Chain A
């Protein structure tokens, strides 16, 4: 019992630690916090994004900070309102792919044998079938909308998580505390939920972050193709309309630039959060950094051979 709480605690505490001590993690957390606030409160501050408010294709001005679209809508309003939908789909898909991946990966890794053989084959097949074309053929048959998008993104994206989590489960499966629980006659379900999963907390969190990055990128791609609900306002449809209205050939950079930057900032912020966290939890990376600053502080350059630092003590 106490082990479970301790493990979960270390997982979350490590994240807090990462944000507090690692510049990259702090940057990532800041960017994400900004976009979350934008998604929650932003739509209250801007007007209706579908309303035709001015002359089409106007460059940024005092009235319309990011200009107007090919239809004459406000680009800023579209960007802000799009943030909400896109982040929502991104996070839900990120959570779902990890959930499905954990369900299948942990089952495969824990039970082994034929179950493992079958499930491994399943996710390996899904790993080699190219995701985008698969998502497109499925999405094409379904009514367009956020649910369809989320569904096809999960179908195309769960296999990677299953693979990683299966490997991790296998590693835990052979640890002493799991062996002890098996001998003690604990039920499989209990061992999985109270011995194995809590020990993977930090991996799961990092997978949710990675899954969200994937989902936002892939979602924007599918909508750009016209597979989303093109009447909805999301980052992807913004770009779809920009392309459709020949924004490029009329030089209306403001219709596509802001959305792309927003997508990249969110993705980059999440990636930085993950890599900062990796640095905190990976003892080797952390020690190497400490080693390096130890040398630099004493005026040495780290080289190929073990450094010699004579302290005049």
Chain B
């Protein structure tokens, strides 16, 4: 429990750093922050609306510390300002629409790629110098060297444009009714194949190589030797006595890789016009929609921190030493 509280404290600190960064960024840049932030709103907003927006970002004449307080207050209330690109929708509403799709896409691909990659890594290490070990890791490393979004472009070109097996974009077709019905779910799945497949292919190698290398070194440990000496079946030695231990660094790495994979997943969304954060982000970048960009940064950071916390709980469950570590 103390371990989890400590981690929670750390994530709160990280969240605070992200929020603070968000507050100071416009102020650190050359020129007047308000001008930079709201240049695009000219002509869209009346003077009163503009003042309300200034208030949200704490851009008043008050001392910096008071501005900071005002800003924190608004963030805590979930008020992240108004979007330019999706005027006049509030930033949080715009983000909310895309968040489900991003979490669905990134989450599904992460779980699939982690599972397959880790299992392949176990196989490669266990049958060291075998066929899997000879061909799969270099192939995975090669595929992993391509930018995610480039693989997405190729996948879209080959399987969508040329072969026509999968739709060319978006999360679901216009003709299905969103909701809990078979047609909708099947349609979403069909739209997800290419984006998920791309991210899985691109990230598989990372998990595979991490797991393989840790597993190879775990296989040299005395506790694995003892397990073999005890006459346990090879399967039990591999899975229960070696793979479980080798998994621990991968799980810890999972938290850190999360942000990275998410980045790639956002770029993949753009190629497939998938209506998640990545797609919204590119709209924000193109229309210099600073409130929206900052909002996305904040929300994605919070999501990653939350996911990291879940990973912490998981690794505590997997490793009894962590349970006892904080005292």
Contacts and interface: CB of A to CB of B under 8 A. Distances in A.
Given A125-B14, A225-B285, A132 B25 contact: no
B161 A251 contact: yes
A132 B262 contact: yes
Interface in A28-57: none
Interface stretch (A11-19, A135-143, A168-176): A135-143
Contacts of B216: 285
Contact of A221 (B26, B263, B297): B263
A160 B264 CA distance: 18
| Size class of the contact patch on chain A | 35 or more
Interface string A208-226: 0000010001101100111
B141 A217 contact: no
A130 interface: yes
A137 B25 contact: yes
B176 interface: no
A142 B29 CA distance: 7
B297 A133 contact: yes
User: Max chain B CB contacts within 10 Å: which of A129, A218, A268?
Assistant: A129
A16 to B, nearest CB: 23
B133 to A, nearest CB: 11
Interface in B273-327: 281-282, 285-286, 288, 290, 293-294, 296-297, 300-301, 304-305, 308
B150 interface: yes
A216 B200 CA distance: 21
B164 interface: no
B322 to A, nearest CB: 16
Interface of B: 10-11, 13-14, 17-18, 21-22, 25-26, 28-29, 36, 128-129, 138, 141-142, 145-151, 153-154, 156-157, 161-162, 168, 216-217, 220, 228, 234, 255-256, 258-260, 262-264, 266-267, 270-271, 281-282, 285-286, 288, 290, 293-294, 296-297, 300-301, 304-305, 308
Contact of B293 (A137, A217, A224, A288): A137
A131 B281 contact: no
B288 A140 contact: yes
A298 B182 CA distance: 60
18 contacts: A121-B13, A129-B304, A130-B262, A132-B260, A132-B263, A133-B297, A134-B297, A136-B285, A137-B297, A220-B150, A224-B147, A226-B282, A226-B286, A239-B147, A239-B149, A263-B147, A264-B150, A304-B228
A125 B13 contact: yes
Contacts of A264: 142, 145-147, 150
A133 B145 contact: no
A91 B13 CA distance: 33
Given A248-B157, A256-B153, 17 more contacts: A130-B258, A132-B260, A133-B263, A133-B297, A134-B21, A134-B297, A213-B145, A225-B267, A227-B285, A239-B153, A243-B270, A251-B161, A257-B154, A259-B150, A264-B146, A264-B150, A265-B145
